[in-house]
Amino acid sequence: MKNRLTAGGVEVDAAVPLLELCAALQDAGYVAAPLKHRPGGVDLRDLLRLFARTLLFALPAAIVGGLLGLAAIILLISSAPSCNSAGNESACAMAMPLYVVGFAVIGGSIAGLLTLARGSWRLYRKWERS
């Protein structure tokens, strides 16, 4: 079974165990130690770009969701006979902000979560390759 040692741009395949390979490299005067984790190529800038991209997609989705909620409640108010009867208009009209805010929250949340999931997967693949 071969052991693979990756450091920077150098990859070493060895038939000896990893600790023996590190000891041999240290005896030759090089600094060598097994890492507990892979060094990743993901830094703070990548995470900030991910969150900026999430806001970039979530805010327009929240606006579109609010507009869809407004259209839904106007359609509901105009088509429901109980909202058109005398003395009951205010109950249906009070639901209008709830629909707008509810649809905006749902639209923004879905877009934000999808963007975060896709971006996190891309950062994981970037980290895995490095």
pLDDT over 90 percentage in the chain: 39
**Residue 1 reports pLDDT greater than 50:** no
Give 88-130 pLDDT, tens digit per residue.
667 777 888 999 999 999 999 999 999 999 999 998 888 777 6
pLDDT at 34 over 80: no
Mean pLDDT, all residues of the chain: 83
CA 3 – CA 91 distance, rounded (Å): 72
3-state secondary structure of 40: coil
**Residue range 48-70: mean pLDDT, rounded:** 96
pLDDT at 67: 97
pLDDT beyond 60 at 2: no
When pLDDT is averaged across residues 24-43 and rounded to a whole number, the result is 73
Give the span between the Cα atoms of 82 and 59, in whole angstroms: 34
For the chain, the structural domain boundaries read 1-36, 44-129
Return the structure tokens found at 57.
């997609």
**Per-residue model confidence (pLDDT) at position 7:** 56
Mean pLDDT, residues 35-55: 81
